[in-house]
Amino acid sequence: MSPIESLLLGIVQGLTEFFPVSSSAHLKIAKFLMHLDIKEDQVLFDLSCHSGTLIALLFFLRKKIAGLFQKREDFLFLAMALLPLVPAYFLLKSLRELASSFSLLGFFLMGTGALLFASDRMRFKSSPGNGWKGRSHDVLWIGASQGFALIPGISRSASTISCAQSLGWSAAEAVQFSFLLAIPTILGGNILELVHLLMLSKDPPSLSFSSCLIGFLSSLGVGALMVKPAIRRLSKGNLR
C-alpha cells in the first residue's frame, strides 16, 4: 500500500465515520476501486483508521463523557445498551462472514439506504423526556438495533438513531446517545479484532507501520473536522 493510498483511505474513513453510511463498507469499496487486495493485513490498517476517528470523537465528546461518570444512572444506561451486542456477536457470526463478501456488500448498503429513506419519510413524534431516565427498555432496544450493525454495510448510527427516534426520542437525544454508545462499541470491537488478528497471524504483518500511521493521522484529522458538522446536521433530524 502506497502512502497516497493510505492517505486517501484515511480520508474516506474520516469523511464517512460520522454519517449514517457505514464507513467500513466505504473503506472496502475504496480498496476495491484502488485494486488493493483485502487480506488480514488490511484489517490492521482498518483498525488504525477506526482508531483515528475514535480519538476525534472522544475529544469532541470529552465533556459529556466526563459528565457520565458524575451521573451514575446515565452511565448504567449506556452500559445496559451494550448488553445486546454480546449475543448478537455470536448469533450473527455466519451472516457477518457472508456479508464480508464484496459481492453482497451492496445488498446490505441498500438495506441502510432503505432504513434512511423510511426514517426520513416517517415523522416520529418525540415524547418529552428527562434525559435517559425511565427509558431502560428503550435503551435495550437501541442496543439491539446496534447489533445489526455488526453486519458489514449496515450503518451503526443509522440503526441506533432511527430506533431511538421511533421510540419517541428527539433527534438531538438520539444522536447524542448513539455517538456516546459508539465509543465503547468501537473500542471493544477494535480490541477484539486486534486480539483475533494476533492469534491467527503466524507471520509478521507485511503492511508497513508508515501506512498504518498515515491512515491513522489522516482519519484523525479529517474526522476532527467532520464530527461537529455531522452531529449538528443529524441532531436536526436529517438522516439523508
pTM: predicted TM-score of the whole model, two decimal places: 0.86
Polymer length in residues for the chain: 240
Domain contains 167: yes
With a CB cutoff of 8 Å and minimum separation 6, the contacts of 3 are 210, 211, 214
Which residue, among 103, 88, 98, has the nearest Cα to 192 in the 3D structure?
88
User: Helix 156-166 vs helix 102-121: angle between axes, to the nearest 10 degrees?
Assistant: 30
Instruction: Specify whether the CB–CB gap between 187 and 22 falls below 8 A.
Output: no
pLDDT band at 34; cut points 50, 70, 90: confident
Return the top range by mean pLDDT from 29-33, 40-44, 73-77, 126-130: 29-33
User: In total, how many domains does the chain have?
Assistant: 1
Domain contains 185: yes
Q: Tell me: the pLDDT tens digits for 190-237?
A: 888 888 777 776 666 667 889 999 999 999 999 999 999 999 999 887
Answer whether residue 125 shows pLDDT above 70.
Answer: no
Domain contains 240: no
Which residue, among 121, 119, 129, 166, has the nearest Cα to 144 in the 3D structure?
166
Burial of 86: CB neighbours in 10 Å, binned 0-12, 13-18, 19+: exposed
Residue 71's pLDDT is what? 77
Kindly tell me the sign of the dihedral angle through the C-alpha atoms of 28, 34, 38, 40.
negative
CA distance 207 to 30: 17
Domain contains 204: yes
Range of the domain at 59: 3-235
Domain contains 172: yes
Q: Tell me: the pLDDT tens digits for 45-70?
A: 889 999 999 999 999 999 988 888 78
Return the top range by mean pLDDT from 25-29, 128-132, 235-239: 25-29
Instruction: Specify whether the CB–CB gap between 127 and 168 falls below 8 A.
Output: yes
Q: Please give the residue that has the higher pLDDT: either 97 or 163.
A: 163
